C-alpha cells in the first residue's frame, strides 16, 4: 500500500471534499487550509472541467495532493467541506468505520450522515461563505489569487448572488473578498463554461424531445436523450434548456450504455422556483444538490421509471420517499459472539439462510456466513466461538437511506443483505430482494 509522506512522516490530518468537486468545493478546501494550517488538502480524482483548468494553471500556487496518494489508515483528523455525506467522499468513505478519528464538517447543504465532532452547517448560498466568515474572525491575511478563487466558488454556487438560496451573508463575504483584491475578470473567465459542438447537439436534441407538464402546480419539463461518450458541462445545457422552455423546473435524463450492457442515467435538474427543491428531490434518488440545482447517477435502471419517479417526488408521492426503515425486517435473528460454530451451522441449516449477524448487547459485532466455514481446517474447531471466524469488516446501512441506495450498496459489495444500524445498534436487516421488489419497475428491461 502506498503511503504519501511529508518530511518522511505520514499525513494524519486531511481536508477533503466531494467527488466531481466544483469551485465552491475547491475554494472551501483552500480556505480550510488557512484555518487548519497543519492539515493537507486532498483533492478527489474527479473534479469539474473548469476547476481542473484553474488547478492546472495555478498548480504551483495552491498546495494539495491527489486523494489516491493518501493512506486512509494514517488519517487521524478529517476536515470535510461542501458535503456532509459519506457516500460522496469516494474511497475515503472507508473512514466511516473508524471511531478514532476527529471529524470537522463545513457545509451549506441540508442533512448529514457524518457523525462529526464539530460541524458548521448553515443554509447560506455557498460553503465558502462560512469559511470566509471564520477567516474574518481570525483576521487571516489572504492573497488576491486566494480571494479570487473564493469569490469564484461563491459566485458559482449563488449564480453571481442571484439564486434564491443566496443570503445577505454571501453578499457580505463577496464584499470582503473584493476588498482583498479578488479579480472579477478572472472570476468571469473561469465561470464561463465550455460550450462547444457537443453541447449544442445535446441542447438541440433536448429541445426536439421536450415536453411540458403541470405537476403539483409547477410547470415542469423532462427531456430524455441518449448520449455517446463523455460530454462535459451537461449542467450548463440543462440550465440553458430550462431558460429556453421557460418552466419552473427542467430535468435532463442522459442515457448511456456501459460496457457490461447496463444503462446508466445521469439526471440533472434545474429549478427557478422557491417551492421546488431540486436538491432534496435528487437526494431521494441517491444524489444531492441545492434547492435550485441537483444531480443523481442511476445505474442499471429503466429510464421511463426514473421519469415517473421525478413526477412522483414533485407530487409528494409518499412511495418515492420511502426509507430503509419502512422495508427492513425486524427483529433480526442473530447469535451472540460466544455461540459455537457447530451451533451456527445447525441454525443456518435449519433456517435455510446463508448468513447471520453476530450481536452482543444489540451492537453488531460481525457477520457469520457459510463461506466463513471454509476457514475451518479440523473438526475440533467447530467448538470454537463464532467470534473467531466471523467477518468483522461488515457493510451496513442507516435506516434513513433509500431502497435505491441500499440496492446500490449490495450490488457494489456483492452481498445479498444489509444490516440496518443506528447509533451502533442493529435494528433491522434488508435484503436485495426487499429493495428491488419494492422498486420492481426500476429493474433493467
Q: How confident is the model at residue 444 (pLDDT cuts 50, 70, 90)?
A: very low
- In Å, how far are 26, 86, 354, 372 from 349, measured between CA atoms? 53, 37, 9, 14
Residue 292 has pLDDT above 90, yes or no: no
227 lies in the same domain as 264: yes
Give Cβ neighbours of residue 419 (< 8 Å, ≥ 6 apart): 332, 357, 364, 367, 394, 396, 397, 426, 428, 429
Q: Which ranges constitute the DSSP H helices of 5-112?
A: 23-35, 49-57
Helix 144-158 vs helix 23-35: crossing angle, to nearest 10: 140
- The confidence score (pLDDT) of residue 301 equals 67
10 lies in the same domain as 106: yes
56 lies in the same domain as 161: yes
C-alpha to C-alpha distance for 335 and 416, rounded to whole angstroms? 19
User: Hey, which bits of 258-360 come out as E strands?
Assistant: 263-271, 288-290, 293-299, 355-360
- The confidence score (pLDDT) of residue 194 equals 60
- In Å, how far are 335, 341, 382, 392 from 388, measured between CA atoms? 13, 9, 11, 10
- The confidence score (pLDDT) of residue 443 equals 38
CATH number at residue 19: 3.90.1640.10
172 lies in the same domain as 39: yes
C-alpha to C-alpha distance for 245 and 125, rounded to whole angstroms? 26
**Average pLDDT in the 255-273 region?**
81
Residue 37 has pLDDT above 60, yes or no: yes
Pull the grid cell for residue 328. 427492513
- The confidence score (pLDDT) of residue 3 equals 32
Q: Which of 264, 289, 318 is the last residue of a domain?
A: 318
C-alpha to C-alpha distance for 3 and 166, rounded to whole angstroms? 41
Query: Which is higher by pLDDT, 2 or 352?
Result: 352
Q: Which of 190, 209, 225 is the last residue of a domain?
A: 190
Residue 289 has pLDDT above 90, yes or no: no
C-alpha to C-alpha distance for 434 and 445, rounded to whole angstroms? 19
396 lies in the same domain as 265: no
Tens of pLDDT along 99-153?
A: 899 999 999 988 788 989 999 999 999 999 999 999 999 999 999 999 999 999 9
**Average pLDDT in the 269-291 region?**
82
What is the CA angle 36-40-44, rounded to 5?
Answer: 120
Query: Which is higher by pLDDT, 209 or 103?
Result: 103
Tens of pLDDT along 400-430?
A: 777 767 777 877 777 777 899 888 888 888 8
- The confidence score (pLDDT) of residue 193 equals 64
Cβ count within 10 A of residue 368: 26
Instruction: Please give the mean pLDDT across all residues of the chain.
Output: 85
309 lies in the same domain as 414: no
Structurally, the chain folds into a number of domains equal to 3
Domain that holds residue 296: 197-318
279 lies in the same domain as 426: no
* Percent of the chain at pLDDT exceeding 90: 38
pTM for the whole structure = 0.57
203 lies in the same domain as 156: no
Q: Which of 318, 349, 374 is the last residue of a domain?
A: 318
CATH number at residue 339: 3.10.580.10
CATH number at residue 227: 3.10.310.30
**Average pLDDT in the 212-217 region?**
90
- The confidence score (pLDDT) of residue 318 equals 40
Q: How confident is the model at residue 4 (pLDDT cuts 50, 70, 90)?
A: very low
177 lies in the same domain as 205: no
**Average pLDDT in the 379-387 region?**
90
Tens of pLDDT along 62-75?
A: 989 988 778 888 99
Residue 275 has pLDDT above 50, yes or no: yes
- The confidence score (pLDDT) of residue 290 equals 76
Does the CA dihedral 296-101-25-108 come out positive or negative?
positive
Work out the burial of residue 32: count CB atoms within 10 Å of its CB; fewer than 13 is exposed, 13-18 middle, 19 or more buried.
buried
Q: Which residue has the cell 437526494?
A: 283
What is the CA angle 415-78-390, rounded to 5?
Answer: 30
C-alpha to C-alpha distance for 342 and 25, rounded to whole angstroms? 53
**Average pLDDT in the 194-199 region?**
75
Residue 1 has pLDDT above 60, yes or no: no
Q: How confident is the model at residue 183 (pLDDT cuts 50, 70, 90)?
A: very high
242 lies in the same domain as 308: yes
53 lies in the same domain as 119: yes
* Percent of the chain at pLDDT exceeding 70: 91
Smallest CA-to-CA distance from 107 within 188, 215, 16 is with 16
Q: How confident is the model at residue 199 (pLDDT cuts 50, 70, 90)?
A: confident
24 lies in the same domain as 169: yes
Amino acid at each position: 500500500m502506498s503511503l504519501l509522506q511529508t518530511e518522511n512522516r505520514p499525513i494524519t490530518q486531511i481536508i477533503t471534499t466531494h467527488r466531481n468537486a466544483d469551485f465552491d468545493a475547491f475554494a472551501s478546501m483552500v480556505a480550510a487550509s488557512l484555518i487548519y494550517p497543519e492539515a493537507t488538502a486532498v483533492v478527489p480524482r474527479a473534479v469539474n472541467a473548469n476547476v481542473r483548468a484553474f488547478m492546472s494553471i495555478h498548480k504551483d500556487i495552491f498546495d494539495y495532493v491527489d486523494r489516491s496518494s493518501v493512506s486512509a489508515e494514517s488519517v487521524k483528523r478529517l476536515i470535510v467541506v461542501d458535503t456532509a455525506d459519506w457516500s460522496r467522499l469516494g474511497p475515503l468513505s472507508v473512514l466511516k468505520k473508524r471511531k478514532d478519528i476527529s471529524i470537522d464538517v463545513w457545509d451549506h447543504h441540508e442533512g448529514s450522515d457524518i457523525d462529526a465532532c464539530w460541524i458548521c452547517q448553515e443554509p447560506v448560498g455557498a460553503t465558502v461563505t462560512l469559511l470566509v466568515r471564520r477567516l474574518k474572525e481570525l483576521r487571516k491575511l489572504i492573497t488576491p489569487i486566494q480571494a479570487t478563487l473564493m469569490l469564484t466558488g461563491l459566485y458559482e454556487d449563488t449564480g453571481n448572488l442571484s439564486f434564491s438560496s443566496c443570503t445577505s451573508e454571501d453578499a457580505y463575504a463577496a464584499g470582503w473578498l473584493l476588498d482583498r483584491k479578488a479579480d472579477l475578470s478572472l472570476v468571469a473567465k473561469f465561470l464561463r463554461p465550455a460550450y462547444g459542438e457537443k453541447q449544442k447537439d445535446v441542447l438541440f436534441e433536448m429541445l426536439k424531445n421536450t415536453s411540458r407538464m403541470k405537476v403539483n402546480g409547477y410547470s415542469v419539463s423532462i427531456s430524455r436523450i441518449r448520449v455517446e461518450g463523455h460530454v462535459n458541462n451537461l449542467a450548463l445545457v440543462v440550465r440553458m434548456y430550462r431558460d429556453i422552455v421557460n418552466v419552473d423546473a427542467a430535468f435532463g435524463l442522459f442515457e448511456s450504455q456501459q460496457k457490461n450492457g447496463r444503462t446508466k442515467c445521469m439526471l440533472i435538474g434545474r429549478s427557478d422556483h422557491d417551492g421546488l427543491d431540486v436538491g432534496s428531490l435528487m437526494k431521494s434518488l441517491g444524489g444531492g444538490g441545492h434547492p435550485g440545482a441537483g444531480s443523481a447517477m442511476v445505474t442499471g435502471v429503466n429510464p421511463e421509471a426514473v421519469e415517473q419517479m421525478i413526477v412522483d417526488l414533485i407530487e409528494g408521492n409518499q412511495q418515492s420517499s420511502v426509507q430503509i426503515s419502512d422495508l427492513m425486517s425486524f427483529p433480526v435473528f442473530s447469535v451472540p459472539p460466544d455461540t459455537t460454530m457447530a451451533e451456527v451451522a445447525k441454525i443456518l441449516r435449519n433456517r435455510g439462510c446463508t448468513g447471520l449477524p453476530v450481536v452482543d448487547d444489540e451492537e453488531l459485532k460481525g457477520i457469520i456466513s457459510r463461506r466463513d466455514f471454509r476457514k475451518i481446517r479440523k473438526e475440533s474447531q467447530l467448538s470454537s466461538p463464532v467470534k473467531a471466524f466471523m467477518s468483522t469488516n461488515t457493510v451496513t446501512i442507516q435506516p434513513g437511506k433509500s431502497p435505491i441506495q441500499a440496492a446500490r450498496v449490495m450490488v457494489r459489495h456483492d452481498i445479498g443483505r444489509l444490516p440496518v444500524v443506528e447509533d451502533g445498534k442493529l435494528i433491522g436487516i434488508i435484503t436485495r430482494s426487499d429493495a428491488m421488489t419494492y422498486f420492481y419497475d426500476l429493474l433493467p428491461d
